């Protein structure tokens, strides 16, 4: 029986093999945040001669890449990237996701929006039929925390301030439990439109394009709209 760490290692290595054939000396990759992505970065580092560098969704990932010799670019200096590779806290059958357990949801959403393809890397424990068991992170401007909390409660959620966390954007995170997420894209749009919300951790309006799922039987590949 593979441990969760071994499952993460397998899917991280599969992601490296997925992107390698498309890399050129001018390629800039998008790289996310989290424990599985940490392993992806470590697995990508031996191939630095194959690509130009990467854009990161967090200071944590930027520091890890720089320490391993991967050149880190500011997104403002990048016009295009073929892949954004990141994990998820939950992913459903339609490849909609909840992200933000590591607190980088806004930057993850921004970097992902520039990439041609979002490659999500997860172990099988992250697959669900319906999103919502994992509390939904919502990044908020501090002065709006309580007003946003009241509106999230009106949607049926139970918001809780994530203690001791300030995002890379200088904001706070509300973790919202108890939501019934039957229509992820609609809920994402509704929460994003609440004044004071920077971004919510639903990635449904633009979900994953490809998912690599690490299972006890190997790494499976899922694609959006695939039968």
My answer on whether 144 and 185 are in the same domain is yes
Give the whole-angstrom CA distance, residue 93 versus residue 35: 23
My answer on whether 113 and 24 are in the same domain is yes
> Which pair of structure tokens corresponds to residue 60?
């944590």
Binding-site residues sit at 33-36, 86-89, 99-102, 126
pTM, 2 dp: 0.95
Overall number of domains in the chain = 2
My answer on whether 163 and 97 are in the same domain is no
pLDDT of residue 180: 82
Give, for all 227 residues of the chain, the pLDDT tens digit: 999 999 999 999 999 999 999 999 999 999 999 999 999 999 999 999 999 999 999 999 999 999 999 999 999 999 999 999 999 999 999 999 999 999 999 999 999 999 999 999 999 999 999 999 999 999 999 999 999 999 999 999 999 999 999 999 999 999 999 998 999 999 999 999 999 999 999 999 999 999 999 999 999 999 987 54
pLDDT of residue 224: 80
Query: Which residue in the list 6, 26, 59, 108 is annotated as catalytic?
Result: 108
CATH assignment of the domain containing 15: 3.40.50.1360
Give the whole-angstrom CA distance, residue 136 versus residue 156: 12
Which domain, by its residues, includes 86?
4-128+205-223
My answer on whether 215 and 188 are in the same domain is no
My answer on whether 217 and 155 are in the same domain is no
pLDDT of residue 129: 93
Is 6 annotated as catalytic?
A: no
φ/ψ of 68, rounded to 5, equals -100, 5
Between CA 72 and CA 192, with CA 107 as vertex, the angle to 5 degrees is 165
Give the whole-angstrom CA distance, residue 29 versus residue 52: 8
My answer on whether 60 and 86 are in the same domain is yes
CATH assignment of the domain containing 165: 3.30.70.260
My answer on whether 33 and 71 are in the same domain is yes
Binding-site residues for substrate sit at 33-36, 86-89, 99-102, 126
pLDDT of residue 128: 95
């Amino acid at each position: 029986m593979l441990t969760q760490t071994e499952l993460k290692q397998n899917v991280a290595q599969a992601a490296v093999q997925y992107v390698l054939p498309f890399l050129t000396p001018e390629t800039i990759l998008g790289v996310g945040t989290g424990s599985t992505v940490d392993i992806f970065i470590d697995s990508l580092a031996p191939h630095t001669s194959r690509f130009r560098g990467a854009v990161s969704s967090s200071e944590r990932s930027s520091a890890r890449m720089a320490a391993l010799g991967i050149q880190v670019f500011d997104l403002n200096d990048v016009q295009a990237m073929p892949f954004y590779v990141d994990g998820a806290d939950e992913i459903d059958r339609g490849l909609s996701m909840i992200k933000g357990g590591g607190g980088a949801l806004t930057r993850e959403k921004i970097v992902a929006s520039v990439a041609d393809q979002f490659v999500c890397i997860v172990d099988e424990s992250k697959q669900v039929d319906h999103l919502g068991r994992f509390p939904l992170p919502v990044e908020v401007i501090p002065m709006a925390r309580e007003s946003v909390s009241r509106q999230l409660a009106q949607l049926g959620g139970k918001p809780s301030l994530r203690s001791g966390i300030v995002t890379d954007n200088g904001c706070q995170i509300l973790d919202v439990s108890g939501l019934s997420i039957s229509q992820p894209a609609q809920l994402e749009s509704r929460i994003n439109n609440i004044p004071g919300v920077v971004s919510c951790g639903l990635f449904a309006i633009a979900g994953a394009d490809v998912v690599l799922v690490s299972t006890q039987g190997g790494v499976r590949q899922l694609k959006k709209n695939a039968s």
